Structure 1
Amino acid sequence: MNQPSILITGAASGIGRATALHFARAGWRVGAFDLPGPGLDSLAAEAGDNLVTGAMDVTRGAEVQTTVDGFAGQAGRLDVVLNNAGILSIGQFAEIEPDRHAAIVDVNVTGVMRVAHAAYPHLAKTPGARLINLASASADFGVPEFASYSASKFAVRGLTEALNLEWAAADIHVCAVWPSFVRSPMLDNVGETTSMQRLGISLTPEGVARVIWRAATGRRRLHLPVGLLYKLLFVSGQWLPFAMKRLSMRLITGY
């Protein structure tokens, strides 16, 4: 009961996997959940006794509820939830099938809502609990060739800001971590866009995991941008007029 616990979605690879290992090695009880596959099996073997894995599809409400309730009951408490599960398609909006756009929204937005809703009663029982959502640099200004992904992360930003206010009365801090491009399986086998070339794919999952650790254990901040260049863009963007932000995005994306 005294061991802090974290539940992570999309934990089989990339940022989710690196975060699961980081917290497990720090002595936390970790629930690492994702779609079934070899990634989950190898994660369990690598992380040791502090980590439990399981299959969970964030698009299935009953499955999410059962999984969250089960892990919280097993751990005896739920200190942190990391909404990390996400999918991505890169390309011209009109050339991507509508069902794929809908799937991106279902995983990246509705999935986040399902997990947050299921976790709320457990987080509310834990003093100082935190909900961390994975946003993105593409939630700052709509990014060409990432249209539906960008829209989904705008929604995550709005949800984060709303719940940060709503859930404060329950002593639940809600925040978002904002990485730019990360060297992870999500970007495997996709062509580089102009924005990738100009911003660079310089972040690692381990580097983002360290920021998530600060979001979970450090002082309470609403938005945590990741990466020096993007931090500068994020901070300046809070003060720039809309026209200047649009110009900056055009320079980055080539549009």
Structure 2
Amino acid sequence: MTSRATQKCIFISGAGRGIGRSTAEKFLARGYTVGVFDISGDEKWAEHHRNAIVGNLDVTDPGQWEAALDQFVRETGRLDVLINNAGILYGTSFEDGSFEQDSTLVDVNVKGVLFGSRAALPHLKTSKGQLVNICSASAIYGTPDMATYSATKFAVRGITEALEVEWEPFGIDVKAVWPLYVATGMLDDVRTDGTDRMGIRLTAEKVADEVVACVDHTQGRITKVHFPAGLQAKALYYASSVGAPFLNRFINAKLTTKRKIRL
């Protein structure tokens, strides 16, 4: 164990680019020690930073999760926050997708979160730390042309809500950040009715700001679990909490498809 960690020690999966990289950069700028891990090789952007611990991680491999987190804790002395950020998507009608695409999304977006959370648990119990999962506004209501992606984010929502209650006795705070469409490489080749109608307005930096606010948030008398990112996601999330189910369906359909939808 080294003495390099003087502030929070934060591990981020999928930190090579996009939301993960922007989040890592913001925490590094604060002087935090940040684990910058990715499968792509893009994580090497952080190798020059003295507070970064850089490594390769396939989030679908439990052994790699355990090894990466053990390495991080050996070098820092603790794990204060795990941010399950790694994720992928495909945007097309379900009919035009494939078994292989469905399987890959479930492996990365669901198993990756489960495996990371399980591997981090003993470290977070020691630090009484935080688990932050990057969810999506597509977990508010199923999103046409992103059915499998939306399903995986509903799973992330369920994991977050279950573990928030289950891990509270350990002193672990579990939360999720919910962006809508974000202008990152993940959407470069994606065009759906939803992206056309609502636009891709969020930047990775704006979502990273919400992740930082989520980590900084101190729970009050009423527990806050979900943190929508951006005005659109906030409006949809809070509207869904008070709207009737049929109305939520209608609003979501009107925003995400050009098809004629009955009320």
Q: What TM-score, normalized by structure 1, do the two folds share?
A: 0.95
Aligned to 1:204: 203
SS in 2 for 1:82: strand
Runs of 4+ that moved beyond 2 A? 42-45
Q: Secondary structure at the match of 1:78?
A: coil
- Structure 2 SS opposite 1:238: helix
2-structure distance, mates of 1:243, 1:76: 50
The percent identity for this pair of structures is: 40
Query: Superposed, which structure 2 residues align to 1:145-184 within 5 Å?
Result: 145-184=145-184
Report the Cα offset of residue 108 of structure 1. Answer: 0.2
Match of residue 6, structure 1, among 6, 10, 16 = 10
Distance 2:73 2:157 in 1: 26
Deviations 1:25-62 (A, max 9, x none): 1010000111142x2222323xx111121000011111
Query: Counterparts of 1:85 and 1:36 in 2: how far apart (Å)?
Result: 11
What one-letter code is carried by the residue in structure 2 that aligns with 1:90? Answer: G
Displacement of 1:92 in angstroms is 1.3
How far did 1:98 drift? 0.3
Deviations 1:192-243 (A, max 9, x none): 2121122221111111111111111122320000111221111011011110
Rounded to whole Å, the distance in 1 between the matches of 2:241 and 2:73 is 37
Cα RMSD between the aligned structures? 1.1
41 and 155 in structure 1: CA distance in 2 versus 1, 3 angstrom threshold = same
- Note the 1:59-70 alignment, pairs <5 A: 59-70=60-71
Confirm or deny: 8 A CA contact 2:180 2:232 kept in the other structure. no
Q: Which moved more, 1:113-122 or 1:193-202?
A: 193-202
Residue identity matched to 1:209: A
Partner of 1:30: 34
> Does the 8 A contact of 1:69 with 1:118 survive in 2?
no
Residue number among 229, 253, 256 corresponding to 1:253 in the alignment? 256
1:145-167 CA distances to partner (integer Å, 9 max, x unpaired)?
Answer: 10110000000000000000000
Equivalent position amino acid for 1:154 in 2: F
What amino acid is the match of 1:211? E
Question: Please, which runs of 5 or more residues in structure 1 have no aligned partner?
Answer: none
Query: Residues 252 and 114 of structure 1: is their aligned pair in 2 closer, same or farther, counting only changes over 3 Å?
Result: same
1:65 CA drift (Å):
0.9
Which residue of the partner structure matches residue 15 of structure 1?
19
Mapped to 1, the partners of 2:87 and 2:7 lie a distance apart of 28
Equivalence for 1:139? 139
Determine if contact 1:183/1:203 at 8 Å carries over to the other structure: yes
Letter in 2 for 1:233: L
Are the equivalent residues in 2 in contact too, given 1:23–1:30 (CA < 8 A)?
yes
2:197 alignment partner AA: R
